[in-house]
Chains A and B, each alone.
Chain A
Amino acid sequence: MRCDEFAGPVLYGDEWRGQDFQGRRVAVLATGRDAVRVLPVVARTAGSVKVFLEDADWVLPVLPRPARMLLGPRGRRTVARIHLRLSVRDPWLRRLLTPDDRFGDHAATSSHGFYRAIQGERCKLIRWPVYAVTEHGVRSAEGIEHRVDVIVVPAPGRLGRARPKRITRTTSQREELTA
Chain B
Amino acid sequence: MTFDFDEMLQTIKDKQWSLADIDWDAPGAETMTDEQRAKMQPFMADLVWIEHVGARGFASLATKAPTPVIKEIYEYFHAEEQKHANAELALMKRWGMLDEDGTVPEPNINVKMAIKTLDTFGDSLPLTGLATLIPLLECALDGALVKFLLDEIDDPVCHQVFKHINSDEARHITVDFQVLEHIGAGPLHKLLIESASNLKPQVILGLIVVFVPLINKMRDNIVAMGLPEQKLYNAVKRFNTIGSRGEFTKRIPAYHVLRSQAGMVVNRAHPYHRLLADPLVRITSFVPARVLGKPQAWTEELTHEPVAS
Residues of A within 8 A of B (CB): 25, 90-93, 95, 100, 103, 128-129, 131-132, 136-137, 139-148, 161-162, 164-167, 169, 174, 177-179
Question: Of the candidates A90, A91, A131, A136, which one forms a contact with B13 in the assembled complex, judged by CB atoms under 8 Å apart?
Answer: A131
A167 CA to B75 CA in the complex, in Å? 21
A148 CA to B308 CA in the complex, in Å? 9
Contact B307 A147 (CB under 8 A): yes
Given contacts A143-B17, A143-B82, A145-B308, contact A178 B298 (CB under 8 A): no
Question: Of the candidates B14, B63, B80, which one forms a contact with A141 in the assembled complex, judged by CB atoms under 8 Å apart?
Answer: B80
From B70, which residue of chain A is reached at the shortest CB distance? A162
Q: Which residues of B contact A128 (CB under 8 A)?
A: 79, 82
Contact B308 A146 (CB under 8 A): yes
6 closest A-B pairs by CB: A143-B83, A141-B79, A164-B6, A92-B297, A131-B16, A92-B296
Residues of B within 8 A of A (CB): 6-7, 9-11, 13-20, 63, 67-69, 71-72, 75-76, 79-80, 82-83, 86-87, 119, 123, 167, 170-171, 296-298, 301, 303, 305-309
> What's the least CB distance linking B70 to chain A, in Å?
10
Given contacts A92-B297, A144-B303, contact A129 B63 (CB under 8 A): no
Given contacts A164-B10, A174-B15, contact A144 B86 (CB under 8 A): yes
Q: Which residues of A contact B72 (CB under 8 A)?
A: 129, 161-162
Contact A144 B10 (CB under 8 A): no
Q: Which residues of A contact B17 (CB under 8 A)?
A: 143
From A167, which residue of chain B is reached at the shortest CB distance? B10
Contact B86 A142 (CB under 8 A): yes
> What's the least CB distance linking B129 to chain A, in Å?
19
Given contacts A100-B71, A162-B69, contact A147 B309 (CB under 8 A): yes
Contact B83 A164 (CB under 8 A): no
A95, A136, A142, A145 — most chain B CB neighbours (10 Å): A142
Contact A145 B306 (CB under 8 A): yes
Contact A145 B20 (CB under 8 A): yes
Contact A93 B297 (CB under 8 A): yes
Work out how many contacts link A and B, with CB atoms closer than 8 A: 102
From A136, which residue of chain B is reached at the shortest CB distance? B307
A93 CA to B76 CA in the complex, in Å? 18
Interface of B is mostly: helix
Q: Which residues of A contact B20 (CB under 8 A)?
A: 139, 144-145
A95 CA to B151 CA in the complex, in Å? 40
Interface of A is mostly: loop
Contact B308 A142 (CB under 8 A): no
A29 CA to B59 CA in the complex, in Å? 21
Given contacts A164-B9, A178-B167, contact A143 B86 (CB under 8 A): yes
Give 27 pairs: A residue, B residue, CB < 8 Å, sorted on A. Answer: A90-B297, A92-B296, A92-B298, A103-B71, A131-B16, A132-B18, A137-B309, A139-B16, A140-B79, A141-B16, A141-B83, A142-B82, A142-B83, A142-B86, A143-B79, A144-B18, A144-B303, A144-B306, A145-B19, A145-B308, A146-B308, A146-B309, A162-B9, A162-B72, A166-B10, A178-B15, A179-B170
Contact A144 B19 (CB under 8 A): yes
Given contacts A92-B297, A128-B82, A164-B9, contact A103 B306 (CB under 8 A): no
Q: Which residues of B contact A140 (CB under 8 A)?
A: 79
A166 CA to B303 CA in the complex, in Å? 32
Contact A137 B307 (CB under 8 A): yes
A36 CA to B67 CA in the complex, in Å? 27
Q: Which residues of A contact B307 (CB under 8 A)?
A: 136-137, 144-147
A167 CA to B69 CA in the complex, in Å? 16
Q: Which residues of A contact B171 (CB under 8 A)?
A: 178
Contact B14 A129 (CB under 8 A): no
Given contacts A129-B79, A143-B82, A145-B308, contact A174 B14 (CB under 8 A): yes
